[in-house]
Amino acid sequence: MDSGKGRDIAPAKGKVGVLLPGMGAVATTFIAGVEAIRRGLSQPIGSLTQRGTVRLGKRTDNRSPRIGDFVPMTALDDLVFGGWDIFEDSAYEAARKAGVLSKEHLTALQQFLETIKPWPAVFDPAYVKRLHGTHVKKGKNKRDLAEQIQADIDAFRKKHDLARLVMIWCGSTEVFMTPSAVHGSLDAFEKGLAQNDANIPPSMVYAYAAIKAGIPYANGAPNLSCDVPALMDLSKKTGTPIGGKDFKTGQTMMKTILAPGLKARLLGLTGWYSTNILGNRDGEVLDDPESFKTKEVSKLGVLEHILQPHLYPDLYGGMHHVVRINYYPPRGDNKEGWDNIDIFGWMGYPMQIKVDFLCRDSILAAPIVLDLALFLDLAARAGMSGIQEWLSYYFKSPMTAPDLYPEHDLFIQLMKLKNTLRHLRGEELITHLGLEYYD
């Protein structure tokens, strides 16, 4: 299978502004890590754009370039960071409070991190009930607030002479919402902004401002944000790549590694009980039942789609899937995720698997933010717009075209991502058929 001559991709020249609504644990760990890598103090572990390779042609060809050499990728030195938060803390202060990084790393990066100060946020505690900040914009209505975001972006672009920008939502998880009439069309949405419609949460105001200006947007949290028809339409109109939702990091990453394996062997599953303890600000926000509901829905979809109980009713038809998150301050960002998996095999004999993942949430999320920023910038330069399903690899709850079920299997997602890169460069897609080696 040959995808032809590939796409025209504009060169990765000039500086790229990475806009981060929400400068908490994830955003500051991401910024600090990039700066540490730039200074040679650290390695980009966990990042596909920096460390991944892509096989080209036949297995006998021995062509496996680094992804960063295969497609024109913006260099880390060209990234400039900006963002918004409801607290005035600089990236240094926020990183110190988040408690993810060691004193040694913080001290080495202090001067640089102190230069990054958040702009006042668009925020309303009705949508994130556990937080109360004062570093917040005032505006006549939500349209006015979107214009203020746009003005921040314009000033940032000018100040740093930026060639391009991307925006990655690293803000808190908002309360659970389902799409409603105001999200149904761009027209209704723009009227809703002017009329302060309650169904437009702050994350949508940022997403609207970005997409309207042709700035690629990805949503790292599970709230709707750009996952509504109005903003999808806008992204097609302005030729803007978008993606979401919810970074796929600790427990769900493990789930989307293990579940495809069980299904590949046709082992049955009666139940999967997942629980977490975490003590960071994210944990505090998720302690509110309305924000937790948004996260729960995002986490629960995964097994259903991977195991396809409608196709395998005897194996997965009656499974119980439970997800719990408990706010437990002593653990800070170092989450512990337990999974108890009840499976059954030949002749129905039951077995159990226990997973205890002592992970670091923001350490797992930071390379995802980097890859999304760089791949979205690549997508924009390649003229791709709308939902970038090939970036599902990074999300718990991937956005898809309407009526299409999401692909959750991490390995299928990775294959899709790499085939998209091959397609962009006009290389043969890899199907793993491989009959030619035996002809």
Ligand X SMILES: NC(=O)c1ccc[n+]([C@@H]2O[C@H](COP(=O)([O-])OP(=O)(O)OC[C@H]3O[C@@H](n4cnc5c(N)ncnc54)[C@H](O)[C@@H]3O)[C@@H](O)[C@H]2O)c1
The binding site for ligand X (CB under 6 A) comprises 21-27, 84-87, 98, 121-123, 128, 131, 133, 170-173, 202, 220-221, 246-247, 249-250, 280-282, 285, 361-362, 364-365
Of 25 and 113, the one with the shorter C-beta distance to ligand X is 25
Alpha-carbon gap, residue 181 to 204, rounded angstroms = 15
Of 174 and 427, the one with the shorter C-beta distance to ligand X is 174
Of 163 and 300, the one with the shorter C-beta distance to ligand X is 300
CB of 335 to ligand X, least distance (A): 8
Give the DSSP letter of residue 256: H
Concatenated DSSP letters for 260-273?
HHHHHTT-EEEEEE
CB of 237 to ligand X, least distance (A): 25
Concatenated DSSP letters for 53-112?
B--BS-GGG-B--BHHHHTT---GGGEEEEEEESS---HHHHHHHHT-S-HHHHHHHHHH
Concatenated DSSP letters for 185-247?
-HHHHHHHHHTT-TT--HHHHHHHHHHHTT--EEE-SSS-TT-SHHHHHHHHHTT-EEE-SSB
Of 44 and 268, the one with the shorter C-beta distance to ligand X is 44
Nearest-CB residue for ligand X:
24
CB of 375 to ligand X, least distance (A): 17
CB of 181 to ligand X, least distance (A): 23
Of 306 and 364, the one with the shorter C-beta distance to ligand X is 364
Alpha-carbon gap, residue 52 to 107, rounded angstroms = 30
Of 15 and 331, the one with the shorter C-beta distance to ligand X is 331
Among the listed residues 235, 199, 229, the one whose alpha carbon sits nearest the alpha carbon of residue 217 = 235
Alpha-carbon gap, residue 131 to 87, rounded angstroms = 10
CB of 30 to ligand X, least distance (A): 9
Among the listed residues 128, 213, 226, the one whose alpha carbon sits nearest the alpha carbon of residue 162 = 213
CB of 321 to ligand X, least distance (A): 18
Residue showing tokens 């309207």: 212
Give the DSSP letter of residue 435: G
Residues with Cβ < 8 Å from 366, sequence gap 6 or more?
26, 29, 30, 33, 46
Alpha helices by DSSP H, 287-436: 289-307, 313-316, 361-381, 410-424
- Determine whether 96 is exposed, middle or buried from the number of CB atoms within 10 Å of its CB (0-12, 13-18, 19+): middle
Residue showing tokens 């970036």: 391
Of 2 and 114, the one with the shorter C-beta distance to ligand X is 114
CB of 266 to ligand X, least distance (A): 31
Of 68 and 332, the one with the shorter C-beta distance to ligand X is 332
Of 6 and 133, the one with the shorter C-beta distance to ligand X is 133
Alpha-carbon gap, residue 215 to 217, rounded angstroms = 6
- Do the beta carbons of residue 337 and residue 254 sit within 8 Å? yes
CB of 45 to ligand X, least distance (A): 15
CB of 23 to ligand X, least distance (A): 6
Alpha-carbon gap, residue 327 to 95, rounded angstroms = 20
Distances (CA, A) of 115 to 31, 98, 213, 299: 12, 18, 26, 36
Of 85 and 296, the one with the shorter C-beta distance to ligand X is 85
CB of 251 to ligand X, least distance (A): 9
Alpha-carbon gap, residue 128 to 291, rounded angstroms = 7
Of 292 and 316, the one with the shorter C-beta distance to ligand X is 292
CB of 356 to ligand X, least distance (A): 17
CA atoms within 13 A on the CB side of 308: 11
- Do the beta carbons of residue 280 and residue 332 sit within 8 Å? yes
